[in-house]
Copies of this chain bind each other. A is one copy, B any other.
């Protein structure tokens, strides 16, 4: 890239998993909305046709109504082609297919273990990690070889283990993980302000928070809007909506959309632990012992969040495939809309065009003193000229640290187990997971079955 006055030109972005029907289009939309950046996006995907389709769609995006900059899209034949010379690299892949994901989510149900997502924690999260880590080993090696200076933005789950793998394989990498779950909680705080104090029009980025934890089990221990302490506001808000839950006007109802929730789990965690859990309830529930929020589908309904079934995902994919075809054929035209994601803002700040303080997932250098060094944690960080520095987030509260640490240590065991090719070690983690309410023998049968279901992606 090069600078032309205050514009960054010829920025090259590599997109691994660039055949995506969803995230990719959002990125296209966010890129053409920028006035001060332009360049090219190289799409790499093991599904070449998908990448090729997105090349076509992407090249239309610069022509869409409201486009402020031009971006060229190229379906790269090889990872090397995509990465070489890339200023930024986006990682957003689906590790395996929905068949493996089906096993991740539903196989444990045979033992009474329900998972609302199954991609981060729980038996499903661990199996998914077993598949994903080897792929990330390859990606890290490719980045080291082709683009050691590129800034890497990861969106793939399990987030912590993807980012940790990158750093383990290539310690010099400049990578961070980016997730919008915390943003949703900022929006909830803005809702609370409106509900309890009548303050209208507060944007989520005006909600100033301190973030601590790990991805999808992130906590807020300080929140302000201007001179208002939002903990006072949230306490009242929780008191009002604890029993009924809260459904925002502009969000879907949890009963219709398995990504939505009524925040009852979040409210309950606030009462139990005094801090604000900052992720969707379906994620939070999976980090807690299994009998609490995920005891049975009835329990889940009482807490008013949804189990994201893989059938739903398959259905949803069909719709997106249709949309892809229509975008390619021109039957549907590319529409620019703000995604609310921060990837492009992060790129701009790293280019030195602005300063951005936001939450990211990177290795702990001490930003959370009571979590182990090296573990991938989520805190605020400052993005500036080619520079990403974590904010000192402080120690987590006693009980929350305890809940978090078991996952952090489990992450390490999974990572070591997969890299060492030691399936028994991974099983140790599998047994340690708080969702694991089956007895040990049953757990072993389950683990073996789940491994078998995803066997072709396991390298050991």
Contact = CB atoms under 8 A, between A and B. Distances in A.
Nearest to A390: B392
Given A299-B439, A382-B382, A386-B227, A402 B406 contact: yes
Contacts of A389: 210, 380, 391-393
Contacts of A289: 431-432, 436
Interface in A327-376: 351-352, 355, 357, 365-367, 369-370, 372
A201 to B, nearest CB: 10
Contacts of A110: none
Contacts of A398: 409, 412-413, 416
Contacts of A366: 366, 369, 392, 394
A386 B355 contact: no
One complex includes copies of this chain to the number of: 4
Nearest to A229: B386
A370 B436 CA distance: 25
Contacts of A372: 370
A401 B224 CA distance: 35
Nearest to A350: B227
26 contacts: A210-B389, A222-B387, A224-B384, A224-B387, A226-B352, A226-B385, A272-B431, A273-B428, A291-B436, A291-B437, A291-B439, A357-B384, A365-B392, A382-B382, A389-B391, A389-B393, A390-B391, A391-B391, A398-B409, A398-B412, A398-B413, A399-B429, A402-B413, A403-B432, A405-B405, A406-B406
Interface of A: 1, 3, 206, 208, 210, 222, 224-227, 229, 272-273, 289, 291-292, 295, 299, 351-352, 355, 357, 365-367, 369-370, 372, 380, 382, 384-387, 389-394, 398-399, 401-403, 405-406, 408-410, 412-413, 416, 428-429, 431-432, 436-440
